[in-house]
Amino acid sequence: MKHIFKDAEEKLKTFAYMVEQSTEGMALADLKGNVIFSNMAWCKMHGYENPEDYSGKSLEIFHNKEQLENDVIPFNKKVKAQGTYSGEVGHITKQGKIFPTLMTTTFLKDSQGNPFALAGIVKDISECIIAEETLRESEQKLFHAVQGNSIPTFIIDTDHIITHWNTACEKLTGFSAAEMVGTKKQWMICYDKERPVLADFIVDGAPGEVIDRYYRRKQYKSILVEGAYESEQFFPNFGEKGKWLFFTAAPLGDANENITGAIETLQDITDRKETEAQLRQAQKM
């Protein structure tokens, strides 16, 4: 019997250490919403020095009026209906600083299934929100940069799905952004059957010999951009009479130099090629 009690005591100690050393805020409240216990992560997160400063007080002190109305009340309704719920809830520190959280609240029940307390786990997601906003801003800047480019341009992601297709590309190819974005139809620009385009090879990190087989050694590495390729070829399926295109493809990467996609540009050089051909013909006469 002593062995059983000792084992249970050790498990309780381990659990207590886990709760206290957790980086996520944890708290217990009675069914009226008054704080019974919280760990130091919860305490510091809300700008307090000691959990005793708010022990026995309502959980409402961790929210302002707007958060209570817009976040907490709807959240609590879902907890009551489902027994447990996770979602974003705004919190406020003792000093009045507002911060977003991902919160999980669960009814604790006894052996008869009767609820006797509320357990809450809170994670401050301020950095995640900032990162998401920064990412959205970067995506917007990229969109406007591509859209405002007078050179026909499209971008694909690592799944080979088109994410950007600018106005200049619409005019050159005859395919609208609405038709192309979200698809893998980049091959339709120049070919009558599905096959990889230069940007696809860039995304896959394909070796030069593989690219050679598709472009018949008419492509060459860019001297300006690492990992980029350039080529100029005649595409008989482009438009009514075919076109000469000068095209480039370069990798896009993140801060850790991981490839996140590829950008490809297309330029119609048909007039130049025809002029060159006429000059060569004239020189022979």
Q: Residue ranges of the domains in the chain? A: 2-128, 140-277
Task: Return mean pLDDT, the chain.
Answer: 88
pLDDT, tens digit (0-9, with 9 covering 90-100), for 113-145: 899 999 999 999 999 888 888 888 888 888 888
Beta bridge partners of 121: 26, 104
pLDDT digits (tens, 9 = 90+) for 55-89: 999 999 999 999 999 999 999 999 999 999 999 99
Q: Give the C-alpha separation, 152 to 191, whole Å.
A: 17
* C-alpha to C-alpha distance for 201 and 212, rounded to whole angstroms: 11
Question: What gap in Å lies between CA 219 and CA 237, rounded to an integer?
Answer: 19
Q: Hey, what CATH topology would domain 2-128 get?
A: Beta-Lactamase (3.30.450)
Residue 34 sits at φ, ψ, to 5 deg, of -95, 135
The residue-averaged pLDDT of 151-174 equals: 95
User: Tokens 């979200």 label which residue?
Assistant: 182
Q: Are 88 and 102 in contact (CB under 8 A)?
A: yes
Distance CA 13, CA 26 (A): 16
- Which one is the CATH code of 140-277: 2.60.40.740, 3.40.47.10, 3.30.450.20, 3.40.50.1000? 3.30.450.20
Model confidence pLDDT, tens digit, residues 192-202 = 899 999 999 99
How buried is residue 6: exposed, middle or buried, by Cβ count under 10 Å (0-12/13-18/19+)?
Answer: exposed
- The single residue listed with the structure tokens 């190819």 is 173
Query: Do 2-128 and 140-277 come out as alike in CATH topology?
Result: yes
Kindly report the CA angle at 282 between 280 and 285, in degrees rounded to 5? Answer: 115
